[in-house]
Amino acid sequence: MSALVPDRRLPRTRRSRSGSYWLYLIPIAAGFAVVVAAPFVTNIVLSLYQWKGGMAPKHWYGFGNYLDLMHDADFWHAFKNSLFMIIAIVVVPTLIGVVLAAVLFDYIGKAFGNRAASFLRATYYLPQILPIAVAGFIWSTILDPRQGSINTYLRSIGITSGPDWLGDPQLALYSVMLMLIWLQIGYPVVVFMAALQRVDPELYEAAELDGAGWLRRFRAITVPQIRPEVFFVVLTATVGALKVFAPILILTGGGPENSTVVPSYYAYRNFFELSRVGYGAAIATFMSVVIFAIAALLIVWQRRTERQEG
């Protein structure tokens, strides 16, 4: 407190330290309360009612919506489709992305120069910056059964009755997955390539001197070295896969015969088309819990493997 001691570790600074820094958190605390916390809690409350929305009366339903949800075959079908979304958004792009990043970095970059590698990388990333409304439209024209690019091509090589990519309930989900893979590939490629830049080049040089081929280097250096980034991509992409909404709305509207409905779209339909607001809120709350739980599991699992190795 003494004004005579010009010491930066004054008790005064210590006390005001936590006090004044809190001021800087007021804007985001207010924003978080208004945009995330209050709506999220309201949504949970809504999930305990039966409500048609608007001026209609609310009927207390307790956990009824959740119990209904557990026995709703349509919901579980949508939930199962989320697994396909994980394949299309997490599994396939990550596997392809690791290989592409390693080829660009450890092969093309070295054989043809870094400019070639970054040009190719930019191309792979391009779909990532596309508004989903545009991506969905492009793919709906590509997959159109009559005028679509794929079937027009098939006709030109003599296959007159190409499949109805988005209209066949057996096929539509895979067609959607095709677009999602295309959309997603650039993300792991860019993250993994940046990760490889921080790997000590001597590792690669030493391995090459020892006569290790590209595949050996890929398995022994590339993959282990970028494991933190692989984890980061898997975590963020899994959360993204469980939240998929717009591609379904734009490409198929959940059809045909509900074959491509995902949970977020099912919630949307209950909110805004079926006027079952309480039920939609229950779906949304359930999915939030699932997402938080899966994210937590992934984080815990990663910490544990990290500790075992360290």
Partner 1 sequence: MKAETPPAPPVAPAPPRPAARPVERGPRNRHPLRWLVLLAAVVTAAVMLAPFLLLVLNAFKTGADYSTHGPLSWPTAFTPDAFSRYLSLVDFPRALGNSVLIAGAVAFLGAALSLVSAYAIGIGRVRCNGAILALLLLATMVPQEALVYPLFYGAERTGLLNSVWSVVIVFTVLQAAFGTYLLASVMTTLPKELLEAAVIDGASRWQILWRVVFPVLRPTLSVLVVFFFIWTWNEFYLPLILLNDPAAQTVPIALATLRGQHSIDITVLNAGSLLSLLPTLVFYLVFQRTLSRGVTAGAVK
Peptide bond into 145 cis (omega under 30): no
Q: Decide whether 190 or 259 has the Cβ nearer to partner 1.
A: 190
Tokens describing residue 163: 């499949």
Q: Decide whether 93 or 259 has the Cβ nearer to partner 1.
A: 93
Cα distance between residue 124 and residue 215, in whole Å:
22
HSE (CB half, 13 Å, CA atoms) of 8?
0
Q: Give the 3-state secondary structure of 133-155.
A: HHHHHHHHHHCCCCCCHHHHHHH
Q: Decide whether 46 or 90 has the Cβ nearer to partner 1.
A: 46
DSSP state, 57?
A: P
DSSP state, 56?
A: S
Q: Which of 94, 124, 61 is nearest to 232 (CA)?
A: 94
User: Do residues 252 and 166 touch, judged by C-beta distance below 8 A?
Assistant: yes
Query: Can residue 198 be called a binding residue for partner 1 (CB under 8 A)?
Result: yes
Minimum gap (Å) between residue 236 Cβ and partner 1: 8
Minimum gap (Å) between residue 23 Cβ and partner 1: 8
Judged by CB under 8 A, the residue of 91, 96, 207, 234 near partner 1 is: 96
Minimum gap (Å) between residue 201 Cβ and partner 1: 14
Cα distance between residue 72 and residue 63, in whole Å:
14
Q: Which of 180, 190, 179, 177 is nearest to 125 (CA)?
A: 190
Q: Decide whether 241 or 259 has the Cβ nearer to partner 1.
A: 241
Judged by CB under 8 A, the residue of 126, 161, 210, 215 near partner 1 is: 126
Judged by CB under 8 A, the residue of 113, 169, 224, 297 near partner 1 is: 113
DSSP state, 245?
A: -
What is the number of other CB atoms lying within 10 angstroms of the CB of residue 121? 21
How many residues lie near partner 1 (CB under 8 A)? 107
Minimum gap (Å) between residue 53 Cβ and partner 1: 8
Minimum gap (Å) between residue 57 Cβ and partner 1: 16
Give residue 90's Cα distance to chain centre: 7
User: Do residues 104 and 193 touch, judged by C-beta distance below 8 A?
Assistant: yes
What is the CA angle 197-203-209, rounded to 5? 130
According to CB under 8 A, which residues from 227 to 286 bind partner 1?
228-229, 232-233, 239, 242-243, 245-246, 249-250, 264, 267-268, 271-272, 277, 280-281, 283-285
Judged by CB under 8 A, the residue of 15, 20, 76, 205 near partner 1 is: 20
According to CB under 8 A, which residues from 29 to 88 bind partner 1?
31-32, 34-36, 38-40, 42-43, 46
Judged by CB under 8 A, the residue of 69, 78, 176, 193 near partner 1 is: 193
According to CB under 8 A, which residues from 157 to 186 bind partner 1?
178, 181-182, 185-186
